[in-house]
Amino acid sequence: MLRTHTCGDLRAAHLDQTVTLAGWVQNRRDHGGIIFIDLRDRAGITQITFDPDICGPAVHDLANKLRSEWVLQISGAVRSRGDKTNPNLATGAIEVFATALTVLNKAETPPFEIDEHAKVGEEVRLKYRFLDLRRPAMQRNLILRHQAVKLARDYFDANGFIEIETPILCKHTPGGARNYLVPSRVHPGSFYALAESPQLFKQLLMVSGYDRYVQIARCFRDEDLRQDRQPEFTQIDLEMSFIDMDDIMTIGEGLVRGLWKKLMNHELPPLRRMTYAEAMASYGSDKPDLRFAMPIVDLSDWAKDCGFSVFQSAVAATDRPSHAGRGVVRALNAKGANEQLSRRTLDQLTEFAKGLGAKGLAWIKVAAGAEGKLDWQGPAAKNISDAAREALRVRLDVAAGDVLFFGADVEKTVCSVLGALRVELGVNRLGLAKPNDWQFLWVHSAPLFEWSEEAQQFVAVHHPFTAPYAEDIDRIQTDRGHVRSKSYDMVLNGCEIGGGSIRIHDAETQGKVFAALGISAEDAQRKFGFLLHALSFGAPPHGGMAFGLDRLIMLMAGAESIRDVVAFPKTQRARDEMLDCPTPAGDRQLKELHLVTAAPIQAKA
RNA sequence: GGCCUGGUAGCUCAGUUGGUUAGAGCGCAGCCCUGUCACGGCUGAGGUCGUGGGUUCAAGUCCCAUCCAGGUCGCCA
């Protein structure tokens, strides 16, 4: 060992001991005679003092040459700092008076400073990720991630789960995310797909009788990146047999309760449960942010006679095909937001709504008027009759200072516009979401199918192996849009952090669902034959879920992006800035893989 | 693929209506300084204004194209 202690260990209890530390030069303060070095390792920072009277001229001369990020080994005695204690350091009560100094390695001047204060752009951080990861904030995030994974493994082990690895090289499955493909050398013209999730394997493991499976599983999806999406990401993936929805939810809930208790020092109440229908109606979203109220209220019946033709015509239209959704008028009340929402801001919000597919955004600013009456302001306000205003006042709990927003369109559009507006207002404009407020809930029983305008047919909301409610099975033939699925998503502060379903375990139901999705028996055999085959050999009732580990850690760490909780993430165009990857393959590699590329080879700059 | 924001010194940024030699803070280098802790003082070096084209007497600034980073919509069963 090159050290006796870490840079975070030493306290007053170690006074007068001779110790050896190793680490990086965080900072150097040279007073001409006495020199201070802050020595850093991942455990913390310790002040090293080079006093020429104690360390001697040779060591002092060397200390004079030290620079940021050099790697040192120092030995010396632990001394009290007396009244010079630094309250900002865990080791602030002591310092080490060096008597020996070894430079283990020199360092180039880093492109950015390795400390908490330095603001650095992501492009540079990613290029020098190995330096970025030296920063305490990143080290905290990765250590938190380690602790969470460790707790998860312990939790599932204690609950009888078995961790089983499944293939990453597997078969392309139609539908769902675009797969990364890997060409086969030994099978010319054929490709593996990188697993987008272990979904089918874990169902097969249930057929095999493993009963309770868990895996910290790497998944791959070739889709465009986001703040919370990387091309490779990690799921805490689980599956159970002989259970129903409630059992999975109990297990999933236990995991986050344990994580929050042990790592966030926060006791979670039992998770609230809400049906998908309720979430969409009241919050316009399948992942409502419950850190603030601002519910969406349906005013479709009110709109018929309100006097405002835009609203009246929105609910009057009856000639639409049923799957397009009915016309509705809904509203939300930004209580007391009048002062904060200027005319300019309202214009921005209107643009925001249009960007989400709204034709416009009707709003009403409510101010205190004469004689204790309310003064209704805004383009929509003047057309609304007095009686309708009074009804609005009651139904939206309107008081002076409120701002009302209306959506009038087909239900789907109104939900997505008002749902997004609600979050924009609550989180970004009005600051109603407080830090360290953890609003978990389950959103369950989503529809099994939804109409796809693009495909002009019903498609699976979740995936085609999701089980319908038994009492809804007949509707697969008669009322496809209203078949409820045994599905559940765990939502935290408006972010979907996990989800799953009970699976279909009998071939007959599976056949009905495939048929409803327009998948013929032959297609089903070709694409999922292995699964159907397995289901015919005594598949137990089963179901499961998966947590998005990266998102979970991002929220726990208070990070802005999952890139801050992934050691080596990719950029928005799925590049690795540090490796300069991907790169063109060589002719020899391509030949071995029986490939020719159609893309022009980019000349490297 | 669409829309939005950004790209100026190693880093973070400013740069007016297009006008003389493009600035600041931090970092870096040298010198000074024996109790600092994001030490302090003095001096100094450091620029293909992302790239290519255009307009103009004159472009960091205006126009077009393009690349990169980020956000967002589509997409992510």
Residues 476-495 of A with CB under 7 A from strand B: none
pLDDT at position A600 is: 63
pLDDT over 90 percentage in chain A: 79
**pLDDT tens sequence across A283-342:** 999 999 999 999 999 999 999 888 898 899 888 866 555 566 788 999 999 999 998 888
The answer to whether A463 CB sits below 7 Å from nucleic acid chain B is yes
**CATH code for residues A12-105:** 2.40.50.140
Whether residue A73 contacts residue A4, with contact meaning beta carbons closer than 8 Å, is answered with no
**pLDDT tens sequence across A103-133:** 999 999 999 999 888 889 999 999 999 999 9
State mean pLDDT over A383-394: 92
Q: Is A20's pLDDT higher than 60?
A: yes
Of A173-177, A260-264, A475-479, A529-533, the least confident: A173-177
**pLDDT tens sequence across A568-599:** 999 999 999 999 999 999 999 999 999 998 87
The highest-level CATH class for domain A292-433 is: alpha beta
Classified as helix, coil or strand, A53 is: helix
**pLDDT tens sequence across A439-475:** 999 999 999 998 887 778 888 999 999 999 999 999 9
Strands A18-30 and A272-275 turn out to be unpaired
Nearest protein residue, CA measured to C1' of B40: A31
State mean pLDDT over A270-291: 96
CA distance linking residue A371 with residue A162, whole number of Å: 71
Q: Is A605's pLDDT higher than 60?
A: no
Fill in the DSSP letter of residue A541: P
Distance A216 CA to B70 C1' (A): 29
Fill in the DSSP letter of residue A504: P
Q: Give one DSSP letter per residue of A462-490, joined into a string.
A: S-TTBPBPGGGTTHHHH-GGGPBBSEEEE
Q: How confident is the model at residue A602 (pLDDT cuts 50, 70, 90)?
A: very low
Q: Which residues contact A367 (CB under 8 A, 6 or more apart)?
A: A338, A374, A375, A377, A400, A401
Nucleotide closest to residue A37 (CA–C1'): B37
Domain boundaries, chain A: 12-105, 292-433
Q: What is the ipTM of this complex?
A: 0.93
**pLDDT tens sequence across A42-71:** 999 999 999 999 999 999 999 999 999 999
pLDDT at position A267 is: 97
CA distance linking residue A338 with residue A404, whole number of Å: 9
The answer to whether A86 CB sits below 7 Å from nucleic acid chain B is yes
The whole-angstrom distance between residue A20's C-alpha and the CA centroid of its chain comes to 42
CA distance linking residue A236 with residue A157, whole number of Å: 13
Residues 563-592 of A with CB under 7 A from strand B: 563, 571-573, 575, 577
The answer to whether A226 CB sits below 7 Å from nucleic acid chain B is yes
The answer to whether A231 CB sits below 7 Å from nucleic acid chain B is no
Q: Is A413's pLDDT higher than 80?
A: yes
pLDDT over 70 percentage in chain A: 98
